[in-house]
Structure 1
């Protein structure tokens, strides 16, 4: 192996799964910018991994919190499967050096982008499911997401939910999200949105998807106004 070249076996060890089909891991690490055909990128595996992750986490929290109501379980699920948490897991796995990116995306810092890291996490989980089955995938999810489930103080509500509940408690109209701008190429868009609540100045947020930008805007409003999330 050439000096400095990322070791796939080391990544497999950190993920907790040794792939029989090494192409699946390669596929899971391939961004659309490095693929000549969109189906050859990680997007299909990400689609599958998102569903596998949701089921595995739902099973884990169902067992771990027998006294929780359906609503409490739903909030725990949302907090654990959100892209931000998936990006944290991908960083813990150390996937950055292994991601295959086009030259432009690599120069733009794609290996550190939270959206890409979150996608890669889900794609790897999808690849594990195809390579080793549901039990292998759930084992990987429990190992990676279990400690986060028990982290003291982990917010069970996302920023949008917290802001909406804050507004409702004060009998204000629900927050409104307005698209301010969209830029960047199709494979790496950037969105800027504003969240507006009557009687307050708008707060801005940016992200690689409208959903991420909305969350960022809500978080900015919460931080500025001292909303207890």
Structure 2
């Protein structure tokens, strides 16, 4: 009875130690059995325990290797053909799809690709938002960029591309059912960043930029919700002063039902003769506040449709020679 309880936990202990030490399951089991039986009173059992560890019982290790299996290669090939992530070397695709949590040892290649992809993604999205909304405050630009490429957006696009079905990570084993869907989605987003990094490395900046514009910047984001306006009246005075405009003045434009239980007032904000904002409300104060916010939104959310991005510039087309000199 003294040795029975350890044997009941033998399989669980062997599995844990085998995974931690990257040893075959059967070999670790034998080692633990020798340790447990070493105190046996039977001379034959003690002699067996004192022998060198058995090497003829080696079986297929449960640890994973970085080399993809034929099934993995088939999945990756189908994924590449379906999504367009086609590289000159299939090894690069496997590195991007193998998350750093996959139990095959350190995978610095994935971490480097993810880092590169994150920076590439941030660059192209940031320059687009920055140039399209030239008056948008920096904190609002950062908030909008995060809406385009944050964890939620990455997880959504990762699922759209079917990355969870092809990526290799710590969930790629018999314990997959124990891993939350949120964790899988988060990892899929990281893998998408690595794929973008691989695309930039293998195909160049132009192709990577086209991918970002087609799949990230094509999504609809409510810019207005990312504009935080604290002390709007004071802010409007500062903006008109900086632009050399006349100090804003509130004027009642229209009203109805002043003496009723549900009156409506419409107030306009004017800078000189120009109406820069308008708002309505059940009181004149409410209507004025909304008019001020409307004026600020019109200022900050000015959108430039036909923008020239810095990444659009072709280095080969730039010259500092005068046109007349080149024609001479």
CA contact (8 A) 1:87 1:114 kept: yes
Residues 12, 122 of structure 1: CA spacing in aligned structure 2 closer, same or farther, 3 A cutoff? farther
* TM-score, with structure 2 as normaliser: 0.41
Structure 2 distance, partners of 1:129, 1:110, is 31
Equivalent residues of 1:28, 1:120 under 8 A apart: yes
Q: Distance in 2 between matches of 1:95 and 1:154?
A: 32
Deviation string 1:153-183 (CA, Å, 9 cap, x unpaired) is 89648xxxx9xx99xxxxxxxxxxxxxxxxx
Query: Among residues 62, 77, 86, which one is paired with 1:8 in the alignment?
Result: 77
Q: Give the alignment partner of residue 122 of structure 1, picking from 193, 196, 200.
A: 193
Over 3 Å counting, the alpha-carbon distance change for 1:101 and 1:47 in structure 2 is: same
Alignment of 1:140 with 2:211, yes or no, is: yes
Q: Secondary structure at the match of 2:152?
A: helix
Distance 1:90 1:56 in 2: 19
TM-score by length of 1: 0.57
Question: Paired residue for 1:45?
Answer: 113
The 4+ residue runs of structure 1 with deviation greater than 6 A are: none
1:219 alignment partner in structure 2: none
- Aligned pairs (5 A) from 1:132-211: 132-148=203-219, 150-152=220-222, 156=226
Q: How many residues align?
A: 158
The answer on whether the counterparts of 2:158 and 2:185 sit within 8 Å (CA) in structure 1 is no
Post-superposition Cα deviations, 1:185-222, rounded to whole Å, max 9, x if no partner, equal xxxxxxxxxxxxxxxxxxxxxxxxxxxxxxxxxxxxxx
Q: How many angstroms apart in 1 are the aligned matches of 2:85 and 2:224?
A: 27
Between the aligned partners of 2:146 and 2:79, the Cα distance in structure 1 is: 30
What residue in structure 1 maps to residue 255 of structure 2? none
Matched, 1:91 2:165: no
- Describe the shift of the 1:41–1:35 C-alpha distance in structure 2 as closer, same or farther (beyond 3 A): farther
1:211 alignment partner in structure 2: none
Between structure 1 and structure 2, the one with the greater Rg is 2
Q: CA RMSD in A?
A: 3.3
Distance 2:153 2:92 in 1: 23
1:108 to 178, 189, 202: 178
Residues 138, 12 of structure 1: alpha-carbon distance in 2 compared, 3 angstrom cutoff: farther
Unaligned regions of 5+ residues in structure 1, if any?
A: 167-229
1:66-100: per-residue Cα shift (whole Å, max 9, x none)? Answer: 45343432221122221111111111111111111
Where does residue 27 of structure 1 map in the other structure? 95
Query: Does 1 or 2 have the higher relative contact order (CA < 8 Å, sep 6+)?
Result: 1
- Identify the match of residue 126 of structure 2 among 58, 65, 80: 58
